[in-house]
Structure 1
Amino acid sequence: MTVILVVLPFILPNNYTLDIAIRIAIAAVAVIGLNFLMGFAGQISIGHAGFIAIGSYGSAIAASSFALTPVLAIFFSALGSAVIAWLVAKPILRLKGHSLTMATLGFGIIVNMVLINEVAISGGPDGMAVLPLTVGQFTFTKLRHWYALAAVVLWLAIWLSLNLYESPAGRALRGLHGAEVAARVVGVDVGTFKARAFVISAVFASISGSLLGHYLGFISPSLSSFTHSVELATMVVLGGMASTFGAVLGAALLTILPQLLGGLHGYESILFGLTLMLTMIYLPRGIVPTLVLKFRRKS
């Protein structure tokens, strides 16, 4: 993965494809975080776009209204997302199945409605401009600058995810996913581990949202929409639950596919849905785990 991230900007043909690569990297950070919750801990969330919006709006407001540097704004937005996630996690993660799904959906809807209605703070449905990202005297203006930053953040997210997977906490989360009662019997504090996974995923989403806002230079409440939340969850499932590289692949595919199908004049949504459906039928574990399993069987 390191080699791919380093070589990629030199082989991409133009700025358009480089822009897509940056968007993939930023989205993949949020999806890796959501994979902690869905893939490791086995908790479904279809309101996670709310934390992306909290990160993007928090960073934009902190930088413009409170004169914080963008780096500090991103940090405090992530910290605020962690606090909100911890407060939300305790009551929500006691639920299971459809009840949990509906509760996370409700959280996303609340964030979306607040952003739409608080016009004085968020700009309402029209959205708001975001200041450029600066680190010291350096301002990220060129696409290659942004790609370097997005690639480094993605690499760190992958590294943290892989290390968590092999750590005692990661094994506890995987055990919780497989059999919650059995995990509780062997001494795993189920509630605490669920909450930690929720907080980690929220922080990753917040950082992703902050970077996206500074990169685009403009944000709107659509960042917290139900559709966006479903896209994030689909990226996790498509690439492969509990697979870090599957999360990256899922983010890449669902970012690229709309671009490839965009010229089909009304049929792109049908083909997009058909592609996802066929993938789930023939690769039920997700793309990466299914291919890895088939390769191991052949070897």
Structure 2
Amino acid sequence: MRGRSLIGLGILALALAAAPFVVPNSYYLDIIIRMCINAVIVLSLNLLVGYAGQISLGHAGFVGLGAYASAVLPSHFGWHPLLALAAGAVGTGLLALLVARPILKLKGHYLAMATLGLGIIINIVIRNESEWTGGPDGMPVPSMELFGYELMRDTQWYWVVAVLLLLSVWGALNLIDSPFGRALRGLHGSEIASQVVGVDVPRYKTAVFVLSAVAASIMGSVLAHYVGFVTPEVANFFHSIELVTMVVVGGMASVFGSVLGAVLLTALPQALATFEGWEIVVFGAILMLCMIFLPRGLVPTLAARLRVGD
């Protein structure tokens, strides 16, 4: 791990440690918890899209699989929440492994359409299997138990998701500096060149796709237990687009860009709520300005300008 990455990780750790003591009330703590959950999901998606160059428009489907595993298995079969979370992650990983080879043979907008189709299929199954999932109305999720204690208060959930975010950032920083991470960046640059130097392209593409799906499933389970209720909206197309937008705005192939993009786009709709019906217009205008003046995303663009300034 490089020096700048260590500094960034230290700043993030300090910010996470201070956050619950400076927020004025539980409303803001709830937003920060959702920021942390989104940041881990976006980070997993950035490994696939930003580093490996594989477009995915169905990532919310994997979030939904994890969320509904944590709702269905404890409610209908009496599974322990942690066991249901693990089962959801394993099941999502197996599904991703099954579809990865045929889907990842595609490129560009063909790949985008294939992943979009996968996400839509997952969402339709969740909506139609109303006997198990509650259909469009959703279903309640039992509380999470850790070491015999139920996680009920926002402060308890905050420390859980803060630790998960810190571990995810630390793991991603080490991953991208490893031979695996260098192979992913090579895939993004040129798959043919990567094959020439001995990179097993299908294997690496499959591995990052499965890793990204499993991480999304785990955080979907965390989100479901935190909220206490889950609906099919967690797996819909618009949620997938929101996640991709967080990647792009924060910065493609940037670990800390993933965190910043998730933070900004989780908080922005709340901040724009005072515009009374115009918030979507203002939100879209802000995104357009970001893409015009910060085309590589916030963190990579600002980092490049600071280096030029030096």
Give the TM bin, normalised by the shorter chain. over 0.9
Return the alpha-carbon distance in structure 2 between the equivalents of residues 207 and 35 of structure 1: 16
Instruction: Structure 1 unaligned segments of length 5 or more: list them.
Output: none
Alignment partner of 1:134 out of 138, 142, 145: 145
Alignment deviations for residues 246-285 of structure 1 (CA, whole Å, 9 cap, x no partner): 0011111110000001121111000000000100110111
Q: Secondary structure at the match of 2:296?
A: coil
1:102 aligns with 2:113: yes
Return the alpha-carbon distance in structure 1 between the equivalents of residues 52 and 113 of structure 2: 18
Alignment deviations for residues 23-69 of structure 1 (CA, whole Å, 9 cap, x no partner): 00011111110011001100010111000000000111122222221
Alignment of 1:1-150 (within 5 A): 1-150=12-161
Instruction: Structure 2 unaligned segments of length 5 or more: list them.
Output: 1-11
Alignment of 1:167-206 (within 5 A): 167-206=178-217
Return the alpha-carbon distance in structure 1 between the equivalents of residues 24 and 168 of structure 2: 26
Q: Which amino acid in the other structure matches residue 58 of structure 1?
A: A
Return the alpha-carbon distance in structure 2 between the equivalents of residues 296 and 236 of structure 1: 22
The corresponding residue for 1:290 is: 301
Return the alpha-carbon distance in structure 2 between the equivalents of residues 68 and 125 of structure 1: 24
Q: Secondary structure at the match of 2:86?
A: helix
Return the alpha-carbon distance in structure 1 between the equivalents of residues 99 and 20 of structure 2: 39
Contact 1:70/1:135 (<8 A) preserved: no
User: How far apart are residue 20 of structure 1 and its match?
Assistant: 0.2
Q: Which amino acid in the other structure matches residue 150 of structure 2?
A: T
Return the alpha-carbon distance in structure 1 between the equivalents of residues 251 and 112 of structure 2: 19
Q: Which amino acid in the other structure matches residue 279 of structure 2?
A: E
Q: Which amino acid in the other structure matches residue 251 of structure 1?
A: A
Q: Secondary structure at the match of 2:143?
A: coil
Matched positions, count = 299
Q: Which amino acid in the other structure matches residue 248 of structure 1?
A: V
Q: Secondary structure at the match of 1:45?
A: coil
Return the alpha-carbon distance in structure 2 between the equivalents of residues 288 and 210 of structure 1: 29
The corresponding residue for 2:277 is: 266
1:166 aligns with 2:177: yes
Q: Secondary structure at the match of 1:132?
A: coil
Return the alpha-carbon distance in structure 2 between the equivalents of residues 247 and 256 of structure 1: 14
The corresponding residue for 1:235 is: 246
Q: Could you tell me the percent identity over the aligned residues?
A: 54
Q: Secondary structure at the match of 2:242?
A: helix
Return the alpha-carbon distance in structure 2 between the equivalents of residues 87 and 236 of structure 1: 25
Contact 1:41/1:174 (<8 A) preserved: yes
Alignment of 1:206-245 (within 5 A): 206-245=217-256
The answer to which of 68-77 and 249-258 deviates more is 68-77
Q: Which amino acid in the other structure matches residue 112 of structure 1?
A: N
Return the alpha-carbon distance in structure 2 between the equivalents of residues 204 and 276 of structure 1: 26
Alignment deviations for residues 192-223 of structure 1 (CA, whole Å, 9 cap, x no partner): 11111100110111011000000010000111
Q: Secondary structure at the match of 2:224?
A: helix
